[in-house]
Structure 1
Amino acid sequence: MPKLFDALGDLTQGARVAADTAVWLGRYAKRQYNSGKNGVCLLCNNLQPANHENTFVWTSSGAQKIDRFGQSGKAMDKGYALALLLENLSTKELLRSREIDPRTGTFARDCKYCRLICEVFDAFFIDEWMSWVTETKNSMPVSFGLMIRQGAPLIVTTIGFVHDKYLKDARADVEIYCNSAFPPSLAPGLPALGPANIRQADSSSAASMWFIKDCVWECWGKHPACHNVARTFIPTRLLYVGKEDTDLRLCETSTWKDPVAYAALSHCWGGGTPLSLTKDYLEDFKRRVDFSKLPNTFKDAVTVARELQLSYLWIDSLCIIQDKEDKTDWQKEAARMADVYSQAFIVVTTASSPNPETPVIGPREEEWLPKTFKFTAHHDTLTGDDVLIEARKRHILAAPLEQGLLEPPFTSSWATLKRIGPLYNRGWCFQESYLATRNLHFTPGAIVFECKTHRRSEDQLPPYPSTVPGTVGIVDPAEQWRMIVKSFTSRQLTFGTDKMPAIGGAASAMPQARTSRYLAGLWSESLLLDLMWQVMPWLVLSGQESQSLAYEDGNGGPPTWSWASINWGVVWSPLKSPQLVATVLDAQTSVEGVNPYGKVSYGAIRLRGRLRRCQLKSNSALDHDAFYTQVDGTNCRPQHYRTDGPLSYEKEAGQYGTFVRRGRAGPYTNDLQTTAVVFLIACSPLVGHIGKQYAGLVLGTSPRFPTCMERVGAIFGLPKHWYDSAEDSEVTIV
């Protein structure tokens, strides 16, 4: 009976999809037919949200409501706005809007709206290193997109216009807007532009300082959700900032009875060592810290604390003893990191600074200041022929149409989109921002205030995007943790051994910390599905096919089944209604020091389930197949799997006769043909609940422990015959 109901549900859903598809096709045909007659560009839709097959209704809560029967009427009466999201648009087609056809002497594709976008791209994406025009003409993988919504700035997304060492398809955003003093309705030929707030050219201006204080006052007085944290924690040491530079000194708080309000600094060390506390200087710092010797970011943090009338400031290098020979104090304080940042009154994040010497308070770089463009609207407008339009680079990548999807934790955009600034590439700074009740980001383009209620930028007009979890759907704790790991691992760490301590504070704040064992970045209660992480696409720069992504573990380290063993970003592919086909017999990790969420030196899990011996074949650096020999002697159909980076092989076979291993130090090969084991973890129903497909780990022999196995990849979508022909077995993975 349940299968019958499922089938009826599938039929109903299929009928609904068919009806929606028919409506969509009708609108598409109508737009194609009317484009020449009405002069509406098939590429950019004249930068308007209406009269497109993908037009939808946008609500202030961020919900998209597809209006199948037209965009006029009740939806608009409720104050909703039309919106349109266009992705993967061709820059080659865009350039045709300003190319002259030699046969006719006219534009190859006459669209003044596309030419406006070209002018904006010229202003922001042509320099001595890269040019979007050259990249387009050389057939490089560049594209752009449009986020158009009535009453809001027009967001133009770009892919491949900027270079990012760690992202294959780096993205940058530009917003185009009108002056708030000029109502767009006066020029009906204008794109659908909304106003934006002023971006200060100098973050030390009185307006910027007022913005900081106004955000904090509003949060303190009007945000109940930001008062839920019980202020019971006192850091071991705090800097007293006072009112004068001569007041600066280090305080030890062991005798303090009551907590105090303090600011905490999140900054980038930049590969060097800023002014630091050591045992030799402890007594000197308690008497006085020389303000003139502070690096500029530290001075800026002192300035912010004083502006907010906070007497105390926490800076890691000055409040934790940094002796290289004795790590006792560092290990103890690292275990308290979650409390330091979560219970700070405010965290000051110096996002635009790559090192302590680069200040964040002062004049902004030219590339972040707005640029003005002339646009010719209809000749019969009240304003004349030319209208001034402004554009500027965005300091935060936009979620679809800025519907609030980026801001609340545990949404796909929150876990995926990178913010702009050197600090956002650093792994240590993730949890400092994630745990903060209030966070003041000094980004390259603007000052951004973020609390547990909303996010507010100095160059943004209200209403402000919500940051309250659960406003876009509830996510279970296991999935929450995977999103945290996904966001964290997209950042980089100078030392691989810091990977566990750098996310330990966030881990200790998870609900699982009260109900589950923490196992090298995974949780015992969801261990089998946690194991199914995958490495993000990693072939970004030439030569990386022979660059190991696995940390060297000759002297110990996170086990290969942990994402912490990989020096790269990881993701999880969602499994639909997963059913586990393996069981955990034992799981152990060894943690160094006093922090249970700290550095891991060893780990092993023992699993029971089905194991399929197979062969591996590499077709290229990013194309790998697994297959096995069937009873009749033929090979089954090859199945693609995702490797954990470059692979290598062992000369001697281990217990399972497998040769493959991770390519830690070579020899590497892109023509790998060797044997391995697939250990099946879970299965999911196919469409219509007929049949199943399986997912598992690709394993090889461990070079450190020949009787054990190591992970070399993950595999998904396996047909049922892989499971049926597998053998029951127990494996130990290290």
Structure 2
Amino acid sequence: MDILPNAPCAHCKFISPHNGENKWGRISIPYNRVDQYPNFPALEVSARKGCAFCGLLRHALQDKYSDEKIAEAESDFHPEIRAKWPTSGWNGLVTVDRAVFSTEEDWTERDRSQATDQSLGGVHTLSLGVWPYPPRRNVSSPESNLTWVWFAVYADSDVGPADNSQHPRLIVTSKESGEYVALSHCWGSLIAFDSGQHARTLKINLKDMLGGIPLNMLPQNFQDAVLIVRKLQLRFLWIDALCIIQDDPADWAREAARMNDVYGSAYLTIAATSAISSTDGFLKRSQETTISIPYYKDVRADPAGLLFLAYMRTGGDQGSWFSNIETARWNTRGWTFQERFLSKRVLHFTERKLFWECRATDASEGNEPPRDPRYRTSWLKHEGQDESGLSLEQTAGASESHFDAWYSIVSRYSARDLSRETDVLPALSGLAHAFRGAHDMGKCTDNNDYLAGIWRDDLLRGLLWNSHDSSRASRYSQYIAPTWSWASIKGQVHFPSGGLGIKSTPTFVNASFEPKADDHLGAIVAAKLTLLAKVRRLCEVVEKAYSSWYPWHLRFEGRHIANGAFDVNSEGGRNTVWAMECMLQKHWDYRDHPTMLLLHRSGTTPDTYERVGVARMEEQWLGFFNDCEPREIALV
């Protein structure tokens, strides 16, 4: 911690709180000054003379308001520092509010930062003391009824004893019982990642990995994770790059299918949130300048200790959770999506501080209040839900609600980045396994309950996804999924809400697909969906400009009948498309809106089509398909 020497000026010498002046939980400190925006010359002069608080105040003001226009008549700032002794909370430490700099007399209190030497110290003294060890297997009441899943570990890393007397080693089967920690991280560039021979487990180095791995031969993220696990007095650490033989397709496929077990059963998941590659490490701190001020328990007594102040940036209304975690590169990667949400407990290491997430609550090293439940990230929630959130158990009897939760999962996941496009379905299979188990949807003996990212029990709504931005969306360079699956395009997708009522028209006949490996919820080689449906040819497609969701006019015999959205813009230039009646959806206006899939003929096989988009008709065209007889068609 870089603590500047502080020679307080005449203004700042009063910033030494006395508990004896505590009235109604407040200690008022006489501090008031006026300076000129935007350079604050008086604060600058004072800081040069040795007043560290003036320097900190000037830095905070310039950082906070550098891009904001402040009216000259209201340019006085009224900083106020508050020392608090919380009557409740999870650690009972004294906290100090971040200084508030406002042009208004009526200002709103923001988030808080811890005011102890421990909270701003080196990560090795801090990381394991912020949250006392929760009682194992009984962390909090919301988790007490969870079933702990113990499984045969195909490959784990034994980090060795805490005294560093043994090198970490890879163990192929874990007969030793013990809790383990999982690591969630960004790999980064594979070239940089493979700079050392122990960065990944391969067939050629498997024997060496089993014998022992010198700690300094591991990428920095792995070294840091080993240190944390040893500090936790645990022995086992699961890291994907080490615990999966990376050039063995069978081992990779088998382990990729087990992510629900791996992260769901881990005692703790360490998230290397601040690192953008495995070589970065995540224990380094980007520490703001810190100053110390004396703290008195009594007016006439000697100082009882020091309070430490540091300016802490915030990221909008969601505070530093958003700026430190949600916008991190780690949170943009495809695999980390399910790693985060399958885990019972996640400890985030960010550039500035630690964050804790579990299924009961969240907390931060800065002693911030828990986030508003609306902003608490959980894959069990779906867009537009109430603040209480959805749990898998709560939605098990409400099919529309729990499928809404799945569509939210897919929508958020589809915005993530993957280094290998073939990972689109495997990187979500862990969540699919968890979802299937929670809703008892694995009863199909033919493994056809999950069709390339879509659940058969809500098939038609699952087919009606649309591109968030078709101008940027594209098809993959190789086969990833059938055209009717959201996984067939590169880009974020959205799904229709349940609305106020849905009436489906096509009938499911059968589905056939060929998985790439044993995991039917992972990668596939081919898939076909057979439906009994009404299909009608449209003759003219004309682009329009005033709707971002359905930017194409669809015409039949010269009349405009619907607005459509193509999955990829380049597929919208054909004059002839086919429309398949899909469902009638009742919306807020209580009117039935026919929705349909847009199709192109696939090759020369009769009644075989590829999906190219989705369209919505107005109520007056309800009878458009009345003259059509349902026929069996295949979607590929």
TM above 0.5, yes or no, is yes
1:683 and 2:606 aligned: no
Q: Distance in 2 between matches of 1:704 and 1:224?
A: 60
Indicate which of 416, 427, 444 corresponds to 1:502: 427
SS in structure 1 of the partner of residue 366 of structure 2: coil
1:593 equivalent in alignment to 2:521: no
Which residue is 1:423 aligned to?
330
Query: Counterpart of 1:269 in 2: which secondary structure?
Result: coil
Residues 153-552 of structure 1 mapped to structure 2, 5 A cutoff: 180=96, 189-198=105-114, 204=123, 206-212=125-131, 214=132, 216-217=133-134, 222-227=139-144, 228-242=146-160, 243-245=162-164, 247-254=166-173, 256=175, 259-272=177-190, 273-274=193-194, 275-323=199-247, 326-364=248-286, 392-394=312-314, 398=317, 419-462=326-369, 471-472=388-389, 475=395, 476-510=401-435, 511=439, 513-515=441-443, 517-537=449-469, 539=471, 544=472, 549-552=474-477
Q: What is the aligned partner in structure 2 of residue 47 from structure 1?
A: none
Task: Specify the alignment match of 1:694 in structure 2.
Answer: 594
Q: Distance in 2 between matches of 1:472 and 1:334?
A: 28
Secondary structure at 1:210's aligned position in 2? coil
> Aligned residues: percent identity?
23
- Helix, strand or coil at the partner of 2:113: coil
1:344–1:125 CA distance, 2 compared to 1 (3 A): farther
CA contact (8 A) 2:284 2:351 kept: no
Which residue does 1:613 correspond to in 2? 537
Q: CA deviation at 1:611?
A: 2.4
- Asked whether the equivalents of residues 682 and 694 of structure 1 are also in contact (C-alpha less than 8 Å), the reply is yes
Q: CA deviation at 1:223?
A: 0.6
1:206 aligned partner, one-letter code? T
SS at match of 1:647: helix
Q: Deviations over 1:109-140 (max 9, x none)?
A: xxxxxxxxxx98962697xxxx789xxxxxxx
TM normalised by structure 2 equals 0.70
Match of 1:113 in 2: none
Secondary structure in structure 2 of the residue aligned to 1:211: coil
Instruction: Read off the aligned partner of 2:346 and give its amino acid letter.
Output: N
- Say if 1:465 and 1:190 are closer, same or farther in 2 by CA, change over 3 A: closer
Judged with a 3 Å threshold, the aligned counterparts in structure 2 of structure 1 residues 461 and 627 are, in CA distance, closer, same or farther, namely: closer
1:206 to partner: Cα distance = 2.3
Q: Label 1:219 to 1:489 Cα distance change in 2 as closer, same or farther (>3 A).
A: farther
3-state SS in 2 of match to 1:505:
helix
Cα-Cα RMSD:
3.9
Instruction: Quote the Cα distance in structure 2 between the aligned partners of 1:252 and 1:269.
Output: 22
Q: CA deviation at 1:260?
A: 1.8
Give the distance between the partners of 1:635 and 1:596, measured in 2 at CA: 45
User: Following superposition of structure 1 onto structure 2, how do residues 28-107 of structure 1 map, counting pairs within 5 Å?
Assistant: none
Residues 680 and 723, structure 1, Cα contact 8 Å, conserved in 2:
no
Preserved contact between residue 276 and residue 329 of structure 2 (Cα < 8 Å): yes
Q: Is residue 182–residue 239 contact of structure 2 (8 Å, CA) maintained in 1?
A: yes
Structure 1: stretches of 5+ with no match in the other structure? 1-96, 99-118, 134-150, 152-178, 372-388, 407-412, 649-659, 661-671
Provide structure 2 residue ranges, at least 5 long, that are not aligned to the other structure: 1-36, 39-58, 70-81, 83-94, 292-308, 382-387, 396-400
Conservation of the 8 A alpha-carbon contact between 2:544 and 2:553? no
Q: Deviations over 1:127-182 (max 9, x none)?
A: xxxx789xxxxxxxxxxxxxxxxx9xxxxxxxxxxxxxxxxxxxxxxxxxxx8369
1:572 aligns with 2:495: yes
Report whether the alignment pairs 1:646 with 2:569. Answer: yes
Are residues 688 and 522 of structure 1, via their aligned partners in 2, closer, same or farther at CA, if it must alter by over 3 Å?
A: closer
Give the Å deviation of 1:280. Answer: 2.3
* Distance in 1 of aligned mates of 2:342 and 2:510: 32
1:418 and 1:704 mapped to 2: Cα distance?
Answer: 50
The one-letter code sitting in structure 2 at the alignment partner of 1:643 is F
Query: Are residues 1:711 and 2:611 paired?
Result: yes
Q: State the distance in 1 between where 2:474 and 2:290 align.
A: 40
How far off is 1:525 after superposition?
Answer: 1.0
**What is the letter of the counterpart of residue 485 of structure 1?**
V
Distance 1:599 1:125 in 2: 50
Taking structure 1 as the reference length, what is the TM-score of the superposition? 0.61
3-state SS in 2 of match to 1:247: coil
